[in-house]
């Protein structure tokens, strides 16, 4: 397949059947990390940019601003470079050094706010900074991933459609929740075309999206400190919250036992599946969405020191990655 632009390489057809994960059922992992932006957020970003173009909000040479501390920032930087837009990513000190370098390498501007908001986080400061930029430059386009219906629409049109096309009958679908764009897009499409599928939302303990109390979280991807406007909890059948240590254990096990170094949210989704495995009838066809791969987590999830210091040595179990000196 020959593409004209890197941002058009949306790998939406890659599924890995994980043998032996569920003893009596089939599990298909939808791998979303194999595109130039390295995550499922390439589709969210394309959906929002193309929607803004269609509506005449984003004109050739236009300027985009968005608040992101990772995957969406990288995805928008990939698109902005290929489509000749100027992109400013408003982020904070929690962004990983790899994401920061990558976004800048793609030609985007990065603004890092440093003042904490009244909740002790940075999201409020990031949004206030964007409002200031919009006041100063009304032509600037803020995509606002937490509230933009085009985010969810992209996943109804692409992610969910691809799952039903490739897998056919789906008994259970597990989707992680960040902005809930992937989740809400999938629920919309499945309710229309496969209403019998049980849809399970997976979130991180400490996220407030589904009404739980806030608590510190260390792994990017899932979870929020303020409920996304897109989120409609009544559209999902079940919600499973996963503790970060369990997500990390799962990532490390997946790498060792299945040869798949996946990102943290994949670990959460599979840890959620393991927790509810006894509720899944034998012979089911289960799909889980894997939003990204593990290479951006080598200094966190796959680093023994980070895991031991941040989450505790028991999380390492038999999965130490540091070499033994001889
Ligand atoms: C690695 C990763 N996993 C999962 C998600 C959640 O996706 P969504 O925002 O569509 O809920 C994100 C969102 O940024 C992410 O970066």
Pocket test for ligand 1, best of 178, 188, 199 (most atoms within 8 A of CB): 178
Does the structure show a pLDDT above 70 at 221?
A: yes
In this structure, the residues whose C-beta lies within 6 A of any atom of ligand 1 are: 39, 41, 44, 70-72, 176-183, 221-222, 263, 265, 291-292
Asked whether residue 282 carries a pLDDT value surpassing 70, the answer given is yes
Model confidence at 164, pLDDT cuts 50, 70, 90, reads very high
Two domains, one topology: 6-31+158-312 and 41-142:
yes
Nearest CA to ligand 1 atom 1: 221
Give the position, in ligand 1's atom list, of the atom nearest the Cα of 178: 11
Q: Is 286 helix (H, G, I), strand (E, B) or coil?
A: strand
Whole-number pLDDT of residue 324: 61
- Cα–Cα distance, 71 to 62 (Å, whole number): 21
**Pairing relationship of beta strands 26-31 and 15-17 according to DSSP bridges:** antiparallel
Least confident of 10-24, 115-129, 167-181: 115-129
Q: What is the mean pLDDT of residues 75-91?
A: 97
Residue nearest to atom 7 of ligand 1 (CA): 178
Instruction: State the distance from the centre of ligand 1 to the C-alpha of 9, rounded, in angstroms.
Output: 19
Residue 56, pLDDT above cutoff 90: yes
On average, the pLDDT of the chain sits at: 95
pLDDT value of residue 293:
97
pLDDT, tens digit (0-9, with 9 covering 90-100), for 306-318: 999 999 999 997 7
| Closest residue to atom 3 of ligand 1, CA basis | 221
Checking if the pLDDT of 118 tops 90, the result is no
pLDDT of residue 325: 64
The pick from 43, 159, 291 for probing ligand 1's pocket by mutation, whose C-beta has the most ligand atoms within 8 angstroms, reads 291
Q: Which residue has the higher pLDDT, 40 or 70?
A: 40
Angstrom distance (rounded) from CA 263 to CA 213:
24
> Can you give the pLDDT at residue 323?
63
State mean pLDDT over 180-190: 98
Percent of the chain exceeding pLDDT 70 equals: 98
The full set of domain ranges for the chain reads 6-31+158-312, 41-142
pLDDT category of residue 326 using cuts at 50, 70 and 90: low
Neighbour order of strands in the sheet with 86-91: 109-112, 86-91, 63-67, 141-142
Residue 89: which residues within 8 A CB-CB, separation 6 or more? 65, 66, 67, 68, 73, 76, 77, 103, 108, 109, 110, 111
Q: Indicate whether 93 pLDDT > 90.
A: no
Structural fold of domain 6-31+158-312: Rossmann fold (3.40.50)
Residue from 69, 78, 147, 265 whose mutation best tests the ligand 1 pocket (most atoms within 8 A of CB): 265
In the chain, DSSP finds a helix count (H) and a strand count (E) of 10, 10
What's the token pair of residue 264? 């943290």
Q: What is the CATH T-level fold of the domain 41-142, as seen in this structure?
A: Rossmann fold (3.40.50)
């Amino acid at each position: 397949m020959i593409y004209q632009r890197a941002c058009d390489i949306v790998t939406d057809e890659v599924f890995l059947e994980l043998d032996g994960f569920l003893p009596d059922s089939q599990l298909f992992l939808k791998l979303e990390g194999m595109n130039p932006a390295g995550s499922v957020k390439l589709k969210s970003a394309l959906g929002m940019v193309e929607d803004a173009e269609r509506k005449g909000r984003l004109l050739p040479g236009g300027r985009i601003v968005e608040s992101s501390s990772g995957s969406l920032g990288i995805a928008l930087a990939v698109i902005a470079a290929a489509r000749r837009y100027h992109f400013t990513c408003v982020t904070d000190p929690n962004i990983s050094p790899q994401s920061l370098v990558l976004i800048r390498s793609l030609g985007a501007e990065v603004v890092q706010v440093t003042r904490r908001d009244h909740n002790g986080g940075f999201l409020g400061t990031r949004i206030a900074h964007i409002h200031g930029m919009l006041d100063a430059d009304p032509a600037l386009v803020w995509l606002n991933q937490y509230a933009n219906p085009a985010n969810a629409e992209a996943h109804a049109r692409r992610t969910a459609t691809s799952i039903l096309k490739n897998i056919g009958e789906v008994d259970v679908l597990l989707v992680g929740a960040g902005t809930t764009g992937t989740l809400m897009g999938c629920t919309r499409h499945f309710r229309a075309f496969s209403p019998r599928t049980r849809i399970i939302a997976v979130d991180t303990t400490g996220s407030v999206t589904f009404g739980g109390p806030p608590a510190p979280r260390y792994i990017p991807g899932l979870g929020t400190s303020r409920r996304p406007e897109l989120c409609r909890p009544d559209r999902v059948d079940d919600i499973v919250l996963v503790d970060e240590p369990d997500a990390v254990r799962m990532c490390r096990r997946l790498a060792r036992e299945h040869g798949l170094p996946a990102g943290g949210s994949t670990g959460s989704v599979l840890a959620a599946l393991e927790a509810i495995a006894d509720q899944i009838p034998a012979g089911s066809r289960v799909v889980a969405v894997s939003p990204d791969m593990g290479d951006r987590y080598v200094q966190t999830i796959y680093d023994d020191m980070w895991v031991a210091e941040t989450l505790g040595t028991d999380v390492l179990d038999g999965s130490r990655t540091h070499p033994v000196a001889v």
